[in-house]
Amino acid sequence: MTEHIDIQVQLFSILRACLPPDAERGQATITLPAGATLADLATHLGIDRRLGFDAADVTRRAGWQVMISGQYEPDMARPLADGDEVRIFPPVAGG
C-alpha cells in the first residue's frame, strides 16, 4: 500500500502565494500522506490561513471553487487519490 500520494495542484489569484517557491505558472506537485483530503491539502499549503477560513470552509463559506480532475467538488472532506489534478479558483463575480 502506498504511504503517500502525489497531487498536481494549480492555484489561481491570491492563492498562488501558497505554492512552493519552485512552482511554475501557479502549478506544483504536492506530496501528501495516503488518505489525505481536500481539507488536508488546503491546510498543508496554508490556503486556510491565507483566506482566513477553516480548511473545511474554503468552498462553502469562502466561496472558492475546487475541481478535481475536471469535476467540480464542493466537499472539502473528499479523499484525494494519487495523480489527482486539483485546481482552486476564486469566487465567481457576477455583474
The number of domains in the chain is 1
Instruction: Name the residue range of residue 34's domain.
Output: 4-89
* DSSP structural state of residue 19: S
pLDDT given at position 33? 97
pLDDT in 10s for each residue of the chain, 95 residues = 569 999 999 999 999 999 999 999 999 999 999 999 999 999 999 999 999 999 999 888 889 999 999 999 999 999 999 999 999 999 876 55
- Give me the pLDDT at residue 2, please: 65
12: in domain: yes
Cell readout for 80 is 484525494
Q: What length is written for the chain? A: 95
| pLDDT number for residue 93 | 67
Beta strands in the chain (DSSP E): 4-11, 27-33, 65-68, 71-72, 85-89
The domain that contains 75 carries what CATH number?
3.10.20.30
